[in-house]
Amino acid sequence: MDNLTQSLTISSEPLSVPLNEDREIKTNEQKDEKDEFEIIENFRKKTTTDKKSRSGSKNIIMRAAASFLCCVTLASYGIGTVSKLRVFFENGAEQLILSQIVKNADDSESVKYDVMQFPQINISNSPLSLILNDIRRYSEKINSPNASEIPETEISEQSPETSVPESQPEPLPEDFHKIIVADLSSSAPMGLDTFNETDYNPDLYAIAENPPQLEAPEELYSVYGENAPIVLIIHTHGTEAYSDENQSSYHESDNPRSDDITKNVVAVGAVMSEILNERGINTIHCEIMHDKESYVDSYTRAAETIKQYIAEYPSIRYVFDVHRDSIIGSDKTKYRPVANIDGEFYAQFMSVVGTDFKGANHPNWIKNLELAVAIQTKMNAYNSTLTRSINLRGAAFNEQYTSGSLLLEIGSCGNSLEEAKRTAKITAETIADIICGTENKQS
């Protein structure tokens, strides 16, 4: 989901909204994206505050905006890399931390920015894009001809290191948009918080104190045979693909999907399957891309696949539906949520836990949440920036067929396939440790 251990997550509404029997069927993926932009605008209306209440912190906001614009400009055009970008909430005041901006690949020198407070701007539920838009709006005030609005003392206090550079990078060509590195990890203790879209309020820490009681593989093999599968990996949205390595922009016509199972999220599932089998956990990897023929029917077809496998192999206890997320701002900026571990980037990970909140027949969803909490705490112990907040949803997402079913988002459309594969390895090792009842063997 570093370590700015006192910060909380920036939660982003996923664009790849799975379909379910109790939700409105969407006609195509483009409508999903349109709905997402409407959600963002609703958040904007919900979180808008009185302009007069903002004026008292104008000077602080302007100074912060100048530094932030400098950082985003450097990072967005390849001049620098944002290694930490966080918003967190403490005592009711929103704070933005920008730190460790590496000037270039050949220079290890970093520019560190102090914590900058943004009182009266309530962004606790808004996507990262809204934060950027708010900052850009205030930065325009700084760069406007009417400089008399800015106190002279504020201008004189700016140093060359933190002011907007005199020469700006060339703007992106028409119809191109940025891909921005971001840290969206959970910074709650043990990574245990939720982006909750239900009225349920489970105590994740109480769940963590009582880990799920799982059948050992040996017990299952003794009943069903030594070759009996225990895990099923599927892909409801198998055509979901990733960006190229180190890609910093994309054209509007770029297709974020692929039918090539060596290039899309099916390749990520293959990594997980290989590791689980190596650990002695018999795993079936279904390579069917259930969205290839029709996106709107993908969850219905995936449900049929799951039921067929369980009927044929009653030994199956775990079903993992592996996806990649789609985090795109209203300005079409793609976000690349990563963890930097020993100099390598790993795509950040998120568990999606379905419930019966919207009427699905899924009364035992808490069992799935118990597994998600176990995965979250182990991965967080390995590296606290790997995991985003657990996403608790109102629909079931086909998780009602076993007590060990989860939808796993490994990376987003801004990540590269290699970043996702690195995280898939850690995810699979973590799952294997939990199933086998062993300590995490990561080093």
Q: b/e string for 359-380 if b means 16 or more Cβ within 10 A?
A: ebebeebeebbbbbbbbbbbbb
Quick one: fold of 189-436?
A: Aminopeptidase (3.40.630)
Distance CA 193, CA 205 (A): 9
Q: Coil, strand, or helix at residue 219?
A: helix
Element (H, E) at 267: helix 265-278
Could you give the count of Cα atoms lying within 13 Å of 354 in the half-sphere of its Cβ? 30
Best CA proximity match to 421, nearest among 347, 356, 360:
347
pLDDT tens per residue across all 443 residues of the chain: 333 332 323 333 333 333 333 333 333 444 444 444 444 444 444 444 433 333 334 444 444 444 454 444 444 434 333 333 333 333 333 333 333 333 333 333 333 333 333 333 333 344 444 454 545 444 444 444 443 333 333 323 333 344 445 556 678 999 999 999 999 999 999 999 999 999 999 999 999 999 998 999 999 999 999 999 999 999 999 999 999 999 999 999 998 999 999 999 999 999 999 999 999 999 999 999 999 999 999 999 999 999 999 999 999 999 999 999 999 999 999 999 999 999 999 999 999 999 999 999 999 999 999 999 999 999 999 999 999 999 999 999 999 999 999 999 999 999 999 999 999 999 999 999 999 997 544 43
Element (H, E) at 349: strand 349-353
Could you give the count of Cα atoms lying within 13 Å of 45 in the half-sphere of its Cβ? 5
Element (H, E) at 83: strand 81-90
Best CA proximity match to 395, nearest among 284, 321, 314:
321
Structure tokens at 68: 């932030």
Strand residues in 105-248 grouped as ranges (E): 107-111, 116-118, 176-182, 194-196, 231-234
**CB-based contacts of 297: which residues, under 8 Å, 6+ apart?**
none
pLDDT of residue 284: 98
pLDDT of residue 438: 75
Helix 29-47 / helix 128-142 crossing angle, nearest 10 deg = 60
pLDDT of residue 103: 30
Do the bridges between strand 405-412 and strand 231-234 make them parallel or antiparallel, or are there none, so unpaired? Answer: unpaired
Give, in order, the Cα–Cα distances in Å from 36 to each of 31, 41, 259, 308: 8, 9, 25, 33
Q: Coil, strand, or helix at residue 34?
A: helix
Domain boundary assignment for the chain: 50-121+127-171, 189-436
Best CA proximity match to 436, nearest among 259, 120, 185, 219:
219
- 53: amino acid identity, one letter: S
pLDDT of residue 107: 36
Q: Are 220 and 393 in contact (CB under 8 A)?
A: no
Strand residues in 199-315 grouped as ranges (E): 231-234, 249-251, 283-285
**CB-based contacts of 59: which residues, under 8 Å, 6+ apart?**
150, 151, 154
Angle at alpha carbon of residue 160, lines to 156 and 162, rounded to 5°: 90
Q: Are 169 and 77 in contact (CB under 8 A)?
A: yes
